[in-house]
Chains A and B, each alone.
Chain A
């Protein structure tokens, strides 16, 4: 029995010590939490002032989990949006602010709190990582390896940030700045006729002849190109039928013949644009 009694004392001691510790921490938290919140708000306002020097007022809107502060100057003009959002990083949530100007371009990224590995994942706080986003907008692809890079060794932290920034930028542009991606080309507005247009292929210009009848593209003929015939054949087999079928220029390109495909789409768009603006038409302006 003395063994049991000793065990009980050990357990009780641990329970009491930890319980008292928890109680003390709760009290300390209660006392310091308001000051910490106030501190963080002050820091936030200082950052707002830094990114938008003419800030006079802001209005907070929430959408799902994120807070969007619409920033106005003294005249009531919208200067931009400061977003408060969070994303799951490598080790817990990363909460950050994204300052976007009224054209949808990134002004600054401000990491508020994170628990990424010091010396590895905390690269998200550094200019080396953040710098590549400044000036980018919702029109940029913001894809790892394309126009922004992840940081090797901190791939999870950095790609989480890239994905989140891309998403937030799109939300801001669409909901608060009323900006949208380029309008798809309105084919029905093109008068009937046959038009020439050119685009840039893999090597040299691609010239196409596009026939429009009744507001629809009916024929796309490749007049001239300098690309490798095999690749162009691949592109020609897939791009014009897609455009004619779907009556859109937003088509999938042919893998392996990307540049020829994109050149073709560009040439068709060029032809249709010339059709809409005949005064600019005539000779294709060489690049």
Chain B
């Protein structure tokens, strides 16, 4: 049994990685991955919401009538998203400001509703919990990899280690001189 829980987690990270394999949740992915810390913050917010919503939806799966399952899922997901939003605003305001509208938009993130519908609505509680953690971490991994690359190319430097910056070759990118990549190469 233990193996199956582990498999639930790793499946979300690798075989069914939301970003790279399922190509779900592309809108927030593209929007927030300009800085590594934004990618990380968004990823962790999704882990929190997805884990909680999977847990609750799976526990209620026998009580929620088939016909109204989607409205119930949305209410549950929206509740957790709002709680996450309040917590971010209260304790990590810079991240809250950076993520902007994409925190409330987690509500309609297809990964979360997708996991609720495809997994948590049918599977037992503990497996759903593992699936939530796995898919959330998979999404976080996708965001981290993308933002790692985009932060360096977009700014010509990175923010997670002091005193290290990359000298970018003078590349021509769409947008010409004013695009951030080219500006970085002029300034370096």
By the criterion CB–CB under 8 Å, are B82 and A28 in contact? yes
Contact B89 A36 (CB under 8 A): yes
- Residue contact B72 to A17, C-beta cutoff 8 Å: yes
Residues on the A chain within 8 Å of B76, using CB: 17, 21
Is B93 within 8 A of A13, CB to CB?
A: no
Q: Which residue of B lies closest to A35 (CB)?
A: B90
Known contacts A14-B72, A28-B83; decide if A39 and B89 are in contact (CB<8 Å).
Answer: yes
- Contact residues in B for A118 (Cβ distance below 8 Å): 100-101
* Shortest distance from the beta carbon of B162 to any chain A beta carbon, whole Å: 23
Q: Is the CB of B89 within 8 A of A14?
A: no
Residue A25 interfacial (CB < 8 Å): yes
Which among B71, B86, B93 is the interface contact of A14 at CB below 8 angstroms?
Answer: B71
Q: How far does the Cβ of A81 sit from chain B's closest Cβ, in whole Å?
A: 26
Q: A9-B65, A13-B63, A25-B83 are in contact. Are A32 and B75 (CB under 8 A)?
A: no
What CA separation (Å) do A17 and B80 show in the bound complex?
13
A35 touches B65 (CB 8 A): no
Q: Chain B at the A interface: mostly helix, strand, loop or mixed?
A: helix
Chain A residues near B87 (CB-CB < 8 A): 28, 32
Whether A24 contacts B79 in the complex (CB less than 8 A), given A32-B86, A36-B90, comes out as yes
A6 CB-CB contact with B under 8 Å: yes
Chain A, range 1-49, C-beta contacts under 8 Å to B: 6, 9-10, 13-14, 17-18, 21, 24-25, 28-29, 32-33, 35-36, 39, 43
Q: A10 to B68: give the CA distance in the assembly, Å.
A: 7
Min C-beta distance of A32 to chain B, whole Å = 4
Contact of A10 with B67 at beta-carbon distance under 8 Å, contacts A21-B76, A32-B89, A39-B93 already known:
yes
Q: Is the CB of A18 within 8 A of B75?
A: yes
**Interchain CB contact under 8 A, B90 and A13:** no
How many Å from the CB of A34 to the closest CB on chain B? 8
Annotate A175-207 by CB proximity to B: 1 below 8 A, 0 otherwise.
000000000000000000000000000000000
- Can you list, as one digit per residue, whether each of B99-110 has a CB less than 8 Å from chain A (1) or not (0)? 011000000000
Contact with A along B52-67 (1 / 0, CB 8 A): 0000000010011101
| A58 CB, min distance to chain B CBs, angstroms | 22
B93 touches A21 (CB 8 A): no
Nearest-Cβ distance from residue A78 to partner chain B, whole angstroms: 31
- Hey, which chain A residues are within 8 Å of B67, CB to CB? 10
Contact residues of A with B, CB < 8 Å? 6, 9-10, 13-14, 17-18, 21, 24-25, 28-29, 32-33, 35-36, 39, 43, 118
Residues of B within 8 A of A (CB): 60, 63-65, 67-68, 71-72, 75-76, 78-79, 82-83, 86-87, 89-91, 93, 100-101
17 additional contacts, CB 8 Å, given A28-B82, A28-B83? A6-B65, A13-B63, A13-B65, A13-B72, A14-B68, A14-B71, A17-B64, A17-B72, A21-B78, A24-B79, A24-B83, A25-B83, A32-B86, A32-B87, A32-B90, A35-B90, A35-B91
